Amino acid sequence: MWLPSTNPNFKQLRVTVVGGGLGGLSAAIALRRAGHLVEIYERRDFDVEVGASISCAANGTQWLREWDVEISDMKPIVLKKLVMRDWETGNILNQYNLDKYEKEWGNVYNMLHRQDMHATLLKAATSFNGKGTPCTLKIDHICESVNAEVGIVGFSNGQSVQADLIIGADGIRSAVRSQIGVVPEMKSAPQTCYRVNVKKSTVDKLGLVKYSYDPAIQFWGGVQGKNGRSKYYKVVMSPCSGGEIVSFYCFMPTDLTKHHEEGFVFAEVPVSDVIAAKYDELDPDCVNLLKNSVDRMPWRLYVHQPYTHWFKNKACILGDAAHPMLPHQSQGACQAIEDAAALGIIFSEKYNFTTNISAGLAMYENIRKPRATRVQNASAWATENLNERIGFTSLTPHDTSLAASEGKLTINEMNSYKMHEHVATEVASLARGMGSVSAVL
């Protein structure tokens, strides 16, 4: 239930969220908690994607806790280490322990299954339990038009809705993004990816190596191999869903893929597509797991340059719609969650942006775009050098030429960030520049 605000200038907004994925649901929860009326519009039902593991580091977990999301319902695996293995033998080459992670950063590093995470966020958004008016969800609504000036979204079924605030959380092929005049500059990434799952029951039944019992993200490859193997071969594995599923991301050079459309493809491929050329040189224990995998889905990767803008009048974008990034820093979901958190803070009763949506969205872009762009760039650097990944630099010298003048992305930078303080500082600066504190505070 929504309680009246103590701020006389606070206005309860009608919010339309286009896209019911992890970012869209996070935005819905954040704005519900801030006292607004939220409607979520999703283009399809939620029974299409099988899903894979999702990394939710401390900078994402903190917002789930602040929003009173039942993280335990997501069946998390608390990550304890990062392990780098030799491609051919599986021998450990490097290890980054996270034993003191929670003590240092105040939150654990959760490994989640996408379906578990999505179901829990959907429940938090729409349930009658918790602060705020329950969000409403409408499926089979494909966005076709956005009038950002008056706040109208039109759908392919002929329906339309008017809102005070429109949020485009509709992914890498975002319709909202194109409607607010953002033109992506993109090119094919040198890597493509296949996501596969192995069930713990299969591991036990066949007596396969029990990686699922180890709360660690494990890596094979990522460096130039013998026999001319490309550095773009890499396997990333993590347990999720309470340890019942071992999730793999299998990377290989893009020229080996048959798939061309960017993003996830919801059609299972044969094992032969995954066990492509040179995978016969991979650690045999890992190969045996892949051969007994299920839910094998291609994921074609593209590199996007940072977009010129994230909002227009009453409409904005977030998550993959705003900053598509390669998965090599495992920050995609966390950055979408941070986007949502920023919107919830900016349009809270603490500030007066509910009476000036465009100014609020300008603040949102000011807060979020530099940080998300930094992570986006760092994810591209880690494509070329796995030691650019958060954590591994402290163990192995990295190629500073890749990071240019910005330097290596660090765990400290990601987890010590205080968004509430950042917003407050920027709002105060804006108020001083306007000569009127009451305008935004």
Confidence of residue 264 (pLDDT cuts 50, 70, 90): low
Query: Average of pLDDT values for 202-215?
Result: 92
Residue 250 lies in a domain: no
Domain that holds residue 387: 14-49+61-68+112-184+307-439
Q: What is the pLDDT of residue 285?
A: 95
Residue 202 lies in a domain: no
pLDDT exceeds cutoff 50 at 404: no
Q: Which residue has the higher pLDDT, 408 or 142?
A: 142
What tens digit of pLDDT does each residue of 106-120 get? 999 999 999 999 999
CA 96 – CA 79 distance, rounded (Å): 11
Query: Average of pLDDT values for 6-15?
Result: 92
* Domains identified in the chain, total number: 1
Cα distances from 305 to residues 11, 263, 322, in angstroms, run 36, 16, 11
Q: Which residue has the higher pLDDT, 391 or 245?
A: 245
Residue 30 lies in a domain: yes
Query: Average of pLDDT values for 401-410?
Result: 63
Pick from 8-17, 38-47, 405-414 the range whose average pLDDT is largest.
8-17
Provide, rounded to the nearest whole percent, the portion of the chain with pLDDT above 90: 75
Alpha helices (H) in 186-256, listed in sequence order: 200-206
Query: Average of pLDDT values for 13-40?
Result: 98
* 3 state SS for 279-309: HHHCCHHHHHHHHCCEEEEEEECEEECCCCC
Query: Average of pLDDT values for 246-268?
Result: 82
Q: What is the pLDDT of residue 311?
A: 98
Confidence of residue 387 (pLDDT cuts 50, 70, 90): confident
Strand partners, 251: 193, 234
Single out the residue of 310, 372, 327, 333 nearest to residue 22, CA to CA. 333
Residue 166 lies in a domain: yes
Tokens at residue 214, please? 């180890």
Q: What is the pLDDT of residue 49?
A: 59
pLDDT exceeds cutoff 80 at 295: yes
Torsion of CA 286, 287, 292, 294, to 10 degrees: 80
Residue 380 lies in a domain: yes
Q: Which residue has the higher pLDDT, 105 or 221?
A: 105
Query: Average of pLDDT values for 356-360?
Result: 98
pLDDT exceeds cutoff 80 at 224: no
The neighbour count for residue 432, using CB atoms within 10 Å, is: 10
Query: DSSP string of 369-427?
Result: HHHHHHHHHHHHHHHH-GGGSTTGGGTS---HHHHTTT----HHHHHS--HHHHHHHHH
Provide, rounded to the nearest whole percent, the portion of the chain with pLDDT above 70: 91
Confidence of residue 401 (pLDDT cuts 50, 70, 90): very low
Residue 124 lies in a domain: yes
DSSP letter assigned to residue 366: H
Q: 77-78 and 152-155 as β-strands: parallel, antiparallel, unpaired?
A: unpaired
pLDDT exceeds cutoff 90 at 280: no
Q: Sign of dihedral through CA atoms 57, 63, 65, 69?
A: negative
The neighbour count for residue 288, using CB atoms within 10 Å, is: 15
pLDDT exceeds cutoff 70 at 368: yes
What tens digit of pLDDT does each residue of 55-104 get? 999 999 999 999 999 999 999 999 999 999 999 999 999 898 999 999 99
Query: Average of pLDDT values for 35-47?
Result: 91
Q: What is the pLDDT of residue 211?
A: 83
Query: DSSP string of 367-384?
Result: HHHHHHHHHHHHHHHHHH
Q: What is the pLDDT of residue 402?
A: 46
Residue 152 lies in a domain: yes
Summary mean pLDDT of the chain? 91
Q: Is 347:154 a contact under the CB 8 Å cutoff?
A: no
Residue 229 lies in a domain: no
Residue that is written with structure tokens 């598509």 in the block: 324
What tens digit of pLDDT does each residue of 370-379 get? 999 999 999 9
Q: Is 15:31 a contact under the CB 8 Å cutoff?
A: yes
* CATH number (domain holding residue 134): 3.50.50.60
What tens digit of pLDDT does each residue of 136-188 get? 999 999 999 999 999 999 999 999 999 999 999 999 999 999 999 999 999 99
